[in-house]
């Protein structure tokens, strides 16, 4: 028997199957935590937002439209919760994500997708990988929040422009321009940081 879809699990949870909710959490834990660590720049904050996200899923389960996909809904809730958390913290930007963000003399180079890969947890990671992850996080942290959010949503969910526009409730043209600006912003900060890192 094939495993239940996310949407079927949420339906089961609405019908009283608490194990279905646990399965949803386990199924999305790794991807959602990666996304939130990148978005917030802080593992502890990401874990807090992760818990708030699933609390909101629990509260809003009855209002979920079962004809839509669960994952975009989940990530949109998470992005909103992270945005709220970052606002509170302050009070107390058509794009090819596989385009190179830096080029070597031979034309090779790392892509945005290569750089956004992160292991959580990563106790056995080599020092070089850890340093790269730290630089990636610094570059992401320097981006304006609206650009960071749309870039991470696009990368982790691999949604079409139309899906992103629907989930974020913004025009299609805005999605394209923000994604273009976001990749340019990331590349600029990444190149700046890698140049700084090469200096003796």
CATH of the domain at 67: 1.10.1740.10
* Co-location of 79 and 7 in the same domain: yes
Q: Which residues pair with 100 in a beta bridge?
A: 111
Q: Which of the residue ranges 49-53, 73-77, 95-99 would you say has the lowest mean pLDDT?
A: 95-99
Total number of domains constituting the chain:
2
Question: Over the stretch 175-197, which tens digit does the pLDDT of each residue have?
Answer: 888 888 888 888 888 888 877 77
Please give the Cα distance from 3 to 9 (Å, whole number): 10
Q: Which of 99, 80, 96 is nearest to 88 (CA)?
A: 80
CATH of the domain at 155: 1.10.10.10
Domain enclosing residue 134, as ranges: 93-200
Copy the structure tokens of residue 185.
């912003």
């Amino acid at each position: 028997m094939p495993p239940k879809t996310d949407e079927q699990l949420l339906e089961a949870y609405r019908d009283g199957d608490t194990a279905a909710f646990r399965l949803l959490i386990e199924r999305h834990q790794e991807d959602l935590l990666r996304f939130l660590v990148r978005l917030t720049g802080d593992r502890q904050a990401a874990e807090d937002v992760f818990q708030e996200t699933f609390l909101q899923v629990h509260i809003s389960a009855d209002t979920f439209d079962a004809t839509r996909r669960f994952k975009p809904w989940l990530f949109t809730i998470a992005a909103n919760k992270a945005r709220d958390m970052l606002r509170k913290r302050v009070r107390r930007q058509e794009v090819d994500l596989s385009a190179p963000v830096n080029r070597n003399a031979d034309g090779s180079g790392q892509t945005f997708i290569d750089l956004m890969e992160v292991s959580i947890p990563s106790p056995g990671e080599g020092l070089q990988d850890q340093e790269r992850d730290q630089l990636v996080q610094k570059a992401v942290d320097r981006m304006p929040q609206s650009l960071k959010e749309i870039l991470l949503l696009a990368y982790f969910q691999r949604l079409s422009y139309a899906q992103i526009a629907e989930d974020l409730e913004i025009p299609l043209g805005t999605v394209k321009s923000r994604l273009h600006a976001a990749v340019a912003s990331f590349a600029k900060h990444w190149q700046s940081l890698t140049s700084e890192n090469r200096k003796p």
